[in-house]
C-alpha cells in the first residue's frame, strides 16, 4: 500500500490558489499538481518554473544536422567520383544547400525530442485519478502529497487558506470531499 496520501484544495479565486502554492513551498508537504479552468498567469508565476531547456536541444539538433548534411553530400560525391569539366569533386558552396536543409530538419527533430524529454513524456508515474471535475468549470485545484497520517494537518492547511478539501488515498481512488472554510 502506498505511503503517500494526496489532498486537493479547491479554490474559487486564482489569487488564493497562487497564495497556497507559495505557502506550500515552505511547508513539509510536496506540491504535486495544479488544475485550473483556464490558463492563469498568476498561478503560473506562483509555480516559478525554471527556464526551458528545449532551446539547447534545438541548437544541438541544428549543429548536428548541418554537419550531417555536409557529410552526406561529401560522402555521396566522393563515392561517385564524377569529375565534370575539371571541377572539384568536393565543392563546399553547392553543398551548403544540403547542409542548410539538414540543419532545419535536425533542428525540428531536436525540438520535438527536447519537448518530449522536458515534459517527461511518456509519464510512467501517473496521478491519473487525482482530479476533480469542478476544476474544468470554476475551481482551481492544488494537489499536495503527505505521508500517511498527515492528511489532517494538510487538510487544515488548505481549509485555513479558504479551500474546499478533497482527499485521495492513492492514484485512481475516487476520493472523498471534506467541507472546508471556503465551501
Rounded to 10 degrees, the C-alpha dihedral 171/137/154/44 comes to 100
Domains contained in the chain, number: 2
Contact 138, 37 (CB under 8 A): yes
Most confident range (mean pLDDT) of 39-43, 80-84, 123-127 is: 39-43
Does residue 183 lie in a domain region?
no
- Structural domain containing residue 113: 54-118
Most confident range (mean pLDDT) of 10-14, 89-93, 102-106, 147-151 is: 102-106
In the sheet where 30-35 sits, what is the strand order?
A: 30-35, 140-147, 4-11, 164-168, 176-178
The band of 170, judged by pLDDT with boundaries at 50, 70 and 90, is low
Residue 127 grid cell: 496521478
Residue 169 confidence (pLDDT) = 66
pLDDT at 179 > cutoff 60: no
- Do residues 76 and 36 both lie within one domain? no
CA 98 to chain centroid: 34
Domain termination site, one of 118, 139, 167:
118
pLDDT single digits (tens) 101-154: 999 999 999 999 999 998 877 766 666 678 888 888 899 999 998 888 888 898
Amino acid at each position: 500500500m502506498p505511503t503517500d496520501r494526496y489532498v486537493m484544495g479547491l479554490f474559487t479565486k486564482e489569487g488564493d490558489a497562487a497564495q497556497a502554492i507559495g505557502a506550500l513551498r515552505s511547508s513539509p508537504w510536496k506540491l504535486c499538481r495544479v488544475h485550473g479552468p483556464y490558463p492563469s498567469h498568476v498561478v503560473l508565476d506562483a509555480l516559478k518554473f525554471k527556464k526551458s531547456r528545449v532551446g539547447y536541444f534545438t541548437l544541438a539538433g541544428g549543429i548536428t544536422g548541418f554537419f550531417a548534411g555536409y557529410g552526406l553530400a561529401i560522402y555521396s560525391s566522393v563515392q561517385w567520383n564524377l569529375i565534370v569539366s575539371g571541377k572539384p569533386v568536393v565543392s563546399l558552396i553547392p553543398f551548403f544547400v544540403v547542409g542548410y536543409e539538414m540543419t532545419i530538419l535536425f533542428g525540428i527533430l531536436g525540438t520535438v525530442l527536447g519537448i518530449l524529454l522536458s515534459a517527461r513524456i511518456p509519464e510512467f508515474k501517473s496521478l491519473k485519478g487525482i482530479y476533480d471535475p469542478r476544476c474544468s468549470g470554476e475551481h482551481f485545484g492544488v494537489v499536495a502529497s503527505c505521508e500517511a497520517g498527515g492528511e489532517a494537518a494538510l487538510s487544515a492547511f488548505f481549509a485555513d487558506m479558504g479551500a474546499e478539501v478533497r482527499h485521495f488515498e492513492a492514484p485512481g481512488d475516487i476520493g472523498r470531499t471534506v467541507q472546508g472554510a471556503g465551501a
